Structure 1
Amino acid sequence: MKAILKSALKQGFIYAFLASMALAFVFFVYIFNGQNLDFMDFTGWVYYATSCFTHAAIIMFVPYIALFLPLIFCKIKPQIANILLTIVYSFIFILAISNSFVYNIYHFHINGLVIKMLTSSGASDIFVFSTSMYVKAFVIILGLIALSSALCWSSYWIESRIRFKGFYRKMLLPILLVALISQSIHIYGGATMKTSVVESTEVIPYYFPIRMNSFLSKLGIVDKNKLNQIRFQNSETAVVYPLHSLKIKPVKQKLNVVILCIDSWNKRTMNEECTPYIYRFAQKAENFTQHLSSSNATSGGIFGMFTGVSAYYWKSFDFGNVQPVMVEQLLKAGYKVQAYPSATLEYPPFAKLLLKNVKGLNIKTEGKTPYDRDIQITKNFLSDLEKYDGKQPFFSFVFYDLPHAMEMPKEKLNKFKPTWETPDYMALNNDTDPTPFFNLYKNCVAQVDQLIGSILTRMEQKGMLENTLIIITGDHSQEFNENHNNYWGHASNYSQWQTAVPMIYYAPKCKPGKRNYRTTHYDISPTILQQTIGVQNPTSDYSMGKNLHDSASRDWHLVGSDLYYAFILNDGTIVEKQGTGNIKIMDKQMNTISDYPLDARKLNQVIMNMNRFFKK
């Protein structure tokens, strides 16, 4: 009996090993499914091959340990245990092959978004299969079942012929060695942002290798201060941006461009009481009342504003050293580009990701507090404005931080009362009266309004409203439990109270008034490029947006990042893909909708559009 048990355990182990080899091969061919391989090198191939096997072994040995071993130890017949294991392995193979088709089309693995698409109305319009396709799928499924069965039979055959001692030790050591190689390469390659390692990791489904950046930095193996620099040494890119070479028809007058951006700007404060200077300026400008950011946080909001595409592409731009079309074209057209940041541009790494080729860039500003720095960036901008001689057009980005930090001198907290002196986040819950907290925020916004007012006043005094395009907006909004679902701040949901921001657009001879159709941050760079240097291409060549003055629908607006993103529909419905891959659908007040009639055909269309800047 003991010999039978020993033989069964050994045979099951061999079966799991063979199944791991087969699954590793399936994973390995993923990278050839329409993938551009320019980024791969020898190290990348070694890492990718060893990682495929490591990940496959983890997946295939789990059923062996969790299912096969208990059955054998419970004295269930080995034949029954093998049949059950074959069923599980067949299912895993079918899932892996199915996922390869999904990855080839959408550039991501099966997740809640795909499942929702398959189960929604209109799915039959997207996934239209001929009889021959069904036959092919049936044959593939039978083939995978046959493969699992053949591997099972092979494990019996191999087990009956193995005679060497130390079986498990001699089998486990190579597996552990392969795992050690893959993880070691990733630990260093991930820390140094080696393109072949980072990009190939994304190809393997649900694979999360070890990272030890902080540890390597402590050992001195990797210089933490050079990590961002290392990222930009890579020349490979997985994106095509712009899609076509830009065609430019020179304009008669190259307008200056000034973007005055307020971090965490809640649109409820854009009124005569809280922001009188901005409000008065808006009367001579265009006020886009339904404007949405490209994210609910600074990184995605500024990225979308500058690049015209979603932070869904953040990693690809980062690893590929891709710079915003807007900035590059303005530099090429002879513009002097400068930023005036209250918070540092080193993190998030906007200095390198968005403004890498700008010489003499202001990366940080002196000052002990956000209040001090907001005052200082205003002084710095006004100082440079006085030096302006009209010979060279300029692009300036002034980025205020006070409404985000909400840190004001007590003596300045006198316009809106009652007010908190500092944010008390531990006191917040769904029953908290938001008034004193919101008044603190309004006092901060009012202070920034005064600073912006000084800029607008001086520009008008210098006659610069005749040759300058001015945009006043926010990177994202700031929620004060407006939905009564206990959400405060930002970066926690995609309702309007975290994504909707004011958008004031001024250009010489513009027609003042409110524009009540939806616009987005993706519209900013196309509008600037068309207005300032005369780009003639369709905006779809280099952005996800349109010209601000194009009132065409912006339904299914994409917000967020590559891991955690959502689509905001025209009626405010939020289709959110969470970090786990699950899909959650909510109304505009963040109430979950369990039976929303999602149009699978439309969902497929927007996903394809979302991925269109990736290399095919």
Structure 2
Amino acid sequence: MVTSGINYKDKVSQLISWGHWFSFFNIIAAMLLGTRYIAYSEWPETILGQLYLGLSWIGHFGFLVFGFYILILFPASFLIPSQRLMRLFAVLVGTIGLTGLLLDTHAYESLDLHLSPLVWDLLLSGEKTELNARWQYLFIAVPAIFLMQLILSEWLWRKLRKLTRKHVGVPIAAIFGFCFLSSHLIYIWADANLYRPVTVQRSNFPLSYPMTAKSFMEKHGWLDRQEYAKRLDAQGIAESEHIRYPLNKLAFNDQGTGQNVLIIMVDSLRGDMVDNETMPHLAAFAQQNLNYSNHYSASNENAEGIFGLFYGLPAGYMNSVRFASSSPVLLDTLKKRDYQFGLFSGDGFETQIYSDAIFSRRQLPEQTDKNDSNGSSNSDKKAIADWKKWLGTQNSDTPWFSYIELASIENFEEGGAYVPQFEPSLSSTNANPAGVDTNQLLKNSYRNAAYYIDELLIDIFEQLVANNAFENTVVIVTANHGNEFNETGTNSWGANSNYSRYQLKVPLIMHWPGTVPTQITRATSHLDLVPTLMESLLATTTPASDYSSGVNLFENTPKRRWVLAGSGRDIVVLQKNTTTVVDKHGNYRVYDQDYKLKSEGKPKLSTLMQVMHELKRFYQPK
């Protein structure tokens, strides 16, 4: 028994010593494969950025491989007494690890994503695409990796005594430990100071989670959170990718139809509010014109929804456009055609995207005063009164473009200068009667604001008729996003909290002189408005794909399989019965039409590839 105990201890000691050397050479192999991440990433321009890259390259792969050794091979050394069986097990683990790393480098090269549930599903989907085929060829390398691991295993076992006498284990461990610790300390400093040459490398390597210490620094008075948030937003704009917009110079057949254009954007108006009870005037207007009843905003957030409407681009491009101060091609073309501009807003164009990009080259009117007792409703009324005065000054021989933003629905909880039509509501004398939940109070207040806006809209339409402008004006009524009252049961209220139809589906009602009243039920998007006006109003011959991600609403195109929405954080693919949300790390969730999570739902490879391409198409090549 004593002899057996000594033999067991010796075997375990040998296996642990061998395992250390086996891990070291696998670290070197992982680092060599890791150079592919460096090749496909942005090269840091500063010395500190380059130093961090080198330290994190050594430290991260050293920690990653050694971590797998500690978690898997080290305990296995005690459980598998046979050295041959243990070495075979280690060879299998090493082969799986390096194969996974090789696949991850290819995912990073092709999709800018590391291996994730989404990437694995794409790999194993079985769809016949070029990407899938190329990935399958990578598995040819598995036998070569396995053979290399076998040779390494045998060589290390034969040379173990000689390697053990060198006593270099501690210095090697110290080097890897120093690189790992110093790279994280540099990142802590860089994160607090928003030093981009370092922070941009956050996701270069797989399973990389650099340390931050904002809470600790704030606690000790070394960091101001509010000032940090302002600097972070500014950096997101200044250091966004450079955009090519449009991709090519625009060409035109002629001067276009010369019709006026009026866009009425109603903040937070969801599509199902346009009915005979809540908004009877707008419902009648929809029946008499083009009613796109299955229309979606570009985002569930205010600025990004407006951005998609004016640029015809997904929200992910917004910071790049803000940095470049690129004016929408639609507005630039209208200006070249000598259109007169009239811009009016019930909240004084409070959303920053207006001054940052959309109307940055045009004089915005002074902000209306919302601080009176009647809130936004009075401001909307004033904006329309100002628009009426402006309309009266327009020459019938000169076309005009006008934009009216109405904010009463967005601020429905503030009440307004209108008599409530739906009770009980927040404006009621008894604002919380027994037996009525808060949800009903809020929704009735929201409907009251919508009813009030409906009265204002008919006033606008009647003014166009009175000025003999209605039959020569394209009138578009839509919204920036919808509004939810927890209909999904996910404790979601308002907007910018999920990507359900309640928050994304909005009205699009269009009066286009000479068209037959029609209800269009196919899926349409905010991204489609720019191509429609550019082609059907302004007669451009340039393909819509050169300046937009949308399509002309008048085109008899085959039924589109998906509509793109989302934000700077998420990609959202809307299909007939599903909503797929993909975050920037490649994690995805698939919801049904009621926004309930589908446990078995998987996105289609071909669709995801088209979406990913669309989100990169307008960036300058590196």
- TM score, norm. by length of structure 2: 0.78
Aligned to 2:593: 588
Secondary structure class of the residue paired with 1:517 = coil
Moved more, 198-207 or 499-508: 198-207
**CA–CA distance in 2 between the matches of 1:419 and 1:316?**
42
Matched, 1:288 2:288: no
Gaps in structure 1 of 5+ consecutive residues:
none
Report the residue type matching 2:548 in the other structure.
S
**CA–CA distance in 1 between the matches of 2:231 and 2:339?**
29
Per-residue deviation, residues 139-174 of structure 1 (Å, max 9, x unmatched):
564477479859978999766423698876565334
Per-residue deviation, residues 242-283 of structure 1 (Å, max 9, x unmatched):
333322334255444332222322222112332234334435
Check the 8 A contact 1:306/1:354 in 2, yes or no: no
Matched, 1:26 2:33: yes
Matched, 1:509 2:514: yes
Aligned to 2:267: 263
1:246 to 245, 250, 253: 250
Per-residue deviation, residues 209-242 of structure 1 (Å, max 9, x unmatched):
43859959956997865665555555x7354443
Give the aligned CA root-mean-square deviation in angstroms.
4.7
Per-residue deviation, residues 372-406 of structure 1 (Å, max 9, x unmatched):
23532552454255244348755444333333333
| Cα displacement (A) at 1:126 | 6.3
Moved more, 270-279 or 70-79: 70-79
**CA–CA distance in 2 between the matches of 1:365 and 1:518?**
36
Check the 8 A contact 2:329/2:547 in 1, yes or no: yes
Check the 8 A contact 2:590/2:602 in 1, yes or no: no
**CA–CA distance in 2 between the matches of 1:200 and 1:328?**
37
Aligned to 2:469: 464
Cα 1:68–1:541 shift into 2, 3 Å: same
Check the 8 A contact 1:18/1:155 in 2, yes or no: no
| Cα displacement (A) at 1:290 | 1.6
**CA–CA distance in 2 between the matches of 1:346 and 1:18?**
59
Check the 8 A contact 2:56/2:179 in 1, yes or no: no
Cα 1:188–1:484 shift into 2, 3 Å: closer
| Cα displacement (A) at 1:443 | 0.6
Aligned to 2:361: 358
Number of residue pairs matched by the alignment: 600
| Cα displacement (A) at 1:504 | 0.9
**CA–CA distance in 1 between the matches of 2:52 and 2:270?**
46
| Cα displacement (A) at 1:311 | 2.0
Aligned to 1:539: 544
Aligned to 1:279: 283
| Cα displacement (A) at 1:547 | 0.9
Check the 8 A contact 1:283/1:513 in 2, yes or no: yes
Moved more, 503-512 or 324-333: 324-333
Per-residue deviation, residues 524-558 of structure 1 (Å, max 9, x unmatched):
12122224433221212222211111242221212
Aligned to 1:399: 405
Check the 8 A contact 2:305/2:480 in 1, yes or no: yes
Aligned 1:402-551 pairs, distance under 5 A: 402-409=408-415, 412=418, 414-421=420-427, 435-480=440-485, 482=487, 488-551=493-556
Q: Whose Rg is larger?
A: 2
Aligned 1:3-402 pairs, distance under 5 A: 19-20=26-27, 22-33=29-40, 44-68=49-73, 87-120=92-125, 122-123=127-128, 127-128=132-133, 133=137, 136-138=140-142, 141-142=145-146, 145=149, 160-162=165-167, 172-189=177-194, 194=196, 200-201=201-202, 203-205=204-206, 207-209=208-210, 210=212, 212=214, 218=223, 228-229=233-234, 231-233=236-238, 237-314=241-318, 316-317=320-321, 324-331=328-335, 340-342=344-346, 349-351=352-354, 354-355=357-358, 357-361=360-364, 365-368=368-371, 372-380=375-383, 382-383=385-386, 386-387=389-390, 388-390=393-395, 394-402=400-408
Secondary structure class of the residue paired with 1:60 = helix
Per-residue deviation, residues 454-504 of structure 1 (Å, max 9, x unmatched):
333334333333443321111222234556777554444434333221111
Check the 8 A contact 1:539/1:546 in 2, yes or no: yes
Per-residue deviation, residues 322-368 of structure 1 (Å, max 9, x unmatched):
55443454455555667545558676x41465327324335965323
Identity %: 22
Aligned to 2:3: none
**CA–CA distance in 2 between the matches of 1:329 and 1:148?**
66
**CA–CA distance in 2 between the matches of 1:164 and 1:141?**
25
1:575 to 580, 590, 593: 580
Moved more, 312-321 or 559-568: 312-321
Check the 8 A contact 1:294/1:520 in 2, yes or no: yes
Per-residue deviation, residues 21-71 of structure 1 (Å, max 9, x unmatched):
5544534423534x7x59956565444444444543453343244345556
**CA–CA distance in 1 between the matches of 2:49 and 2:399?**
45
Check the 8 A contact 2:275/2:283 in 1, yes or no: yes
Moved more, 496-505 or 331-340: 331-340
Cα 1:550–1:72 shift into 2, 3 Å: same
Check the 8 A contact 1:559/1:567 in 2, yes or no: yes
Cα 1:285–1:155 shift into 2, 3 Å: farther
**CA–CA distance in 1 between the matches of 2:452 and 2:616?**
41
**CA–CA distance in 1 between the matches of 2:345 and 2:52?**
40
2:570 to 559, 564, 572: 564
Secondary structure class of the residue paired with 1:471 = strand
**CA–CA distance in 2 between the matches of 1:221 and 1:415?**
42
Report the residue type matching 2:474 in the other structure.
L
**CA–CA distance in 2 between the matches of 1:13 and 1:285?**
75
Per-residue deviation, residues 268-327 of structure 1 (Å, max 9, x unmatched):
211233223433443543211121222333344223222212224445545666554434
Cα 1:506–1:130 shift into 2, 3 Å: closer
Cα 1:413–1:144 shift into 2, 3 Å: farther
